Amino acid sequence: MTDYVIPAPPIVGVPVQGGGLFPVRRIFCVGRNYAAHVREMGGDPNRETPFFFTKPADALVAGGADMPYPTMTQDLHHEMEMVVAIGQGGRGIAESVALQHVFGYAAGLDMTRRDLQAEAKKHGRPWDMAKGFDHSAPIGDIVPAAIAGHPDQGLIELRVNGNVRQSSDLAKMIWSVPETIAYLSRLVVLAPGDLIFSGTPDGVAAVAKGDVLAGQIAGIGTVRTRIV
């Protein structure tokens, strides 16, 4: 038994369709990966290389649980995203074999304190407190690639209180999943348990307490949470 001087933090697990839990190590998120979202945020989709930010594993909200409205913001935004679950790690992974490193996929929400992000951008500061706060990553069950395959097209949609807020197609990603894995694995050594939030399509907007967010991705599944 290891002699930790305080209780060791628990491993965060996301339910897997068909049974079991996927143990989460780190969460990487791709910024600006759908051209229409880049434009709505005032950017130029033609000149961006992939960039990444992170959230802590314990920011995940799994199993359809409620998400508390966070402190220190007046502008909480939804970003509906496909999540890639890494089952096999590696460094310098080639695009041609990148999908062999994927355990499965989930629907997720990259919840964002948009006002704090705008302030950080203005001053050239890090995004951590705009992106990586507590409960900032609601996620649905992970579906293994053995069942889902590796979807690279199909509907990605978010409804808030039943009304469509975001609706796009996975095929509109600027950086494909293999390209993203290849690029990210040159920046860090990927490990089993890592999640990659692959970016949001356009239509991001604010939510309020009481709103019910329900997202779906064709062939992968759903994510649901209520803001409380």
Q: Give the separation between CA 38 and CA 108, rounded to whole angstroms.
A: 19
> What are the start-end ranges of the E strands in 11-66?
12-15, 21-24, 27-31, 51-55, 60-62
Our finding on whether 176 is near Mn ion (CB under 5 A) is no
Which of residues 79 and 211 has its CB atom nearest to Mn ion in the complex?
A: 79
Given the rule CB under 5 A, which of 89-97, 100-108, 147-155, 200-208 is the region that contacts Mn ion?
200-208
Q: Give the separation between CA 25 and CA 190, rounded to whole angstroms.
A: 10
Which of residues 16 and 217 has its CB atom nearest to Mn ion in the complex?
A: 217
Our finding on whether 110 is near Mn ion (CB under 5 A) is yes
Closest CA to 33 of 8, 51, 53: 51
Kindly tell me the number of DSSP H helices and DSSP E strands found in the chain: 5, 16
SS3 call for 38: helix
Residue from 176, 200, 216, 225 touching Mn ion (CB under 5 A): that is: 200
Contacts of 203 by beta carbon, 8 Å cutoff, 6+ apart: 37, 40, 158, 165, 166, 167, 168
Q: Give the separation between CA 160 and CA 162, rounded to whole angstroms.
A: 5
Q: Judge contact between 186 and 92, C-beta under 8 A.
A: yes
Q: How far is the CB of 198 from Mn ion (least distance, A)?
A: 9
Q: How far is the CB of 81 from Mn ion (least distance, A)?
A: 6
Q: Judge contact between 225 and 61, C-beta under 8 A.
A: yes
Tell me which residues in 75-94 interact with Mn ion (CB under 5 A): 79
Given the rule CB under 5 A, which of 82-90, 110-118, 174-182, 211-219 is the region that contacts Mn ion?
110-118
| Binding residues for Mn ion, total number by CB under 5 A | 3
Our finding on whether 180 is near Mn ion (CB under 5 A) is no
Q: How far is the CB of 30 from Mn ion (least distance, A)?
A: 7
Exposure of 113 in the CB half-sphere (CA atoms within 13 A): 22
Which residue number has the CB closest to Mn ion? 110
Burial class (CB in 10 A: 0-12, 13-18, 19+), 64: middle
Q: How far is the CB of 44 from Mn ion (least distance, A)?
A: 18
Which of residues 16 and 106 has its CB atom nearest to Mn ion in the complex?
A: 106
Which of residues 198 and 216 has its CB atom nearest to Mn ion in the complex?
A: 198
Q: How far is the CB of 34 from Mn ion (least distance, A)?
A: 10
Q: How far is the CB of 80 from Mn ion (least distance, A)?
A: 9
Q: Which residues bind Mn ion (CB under 5 A)?
A: 79, 110, 200
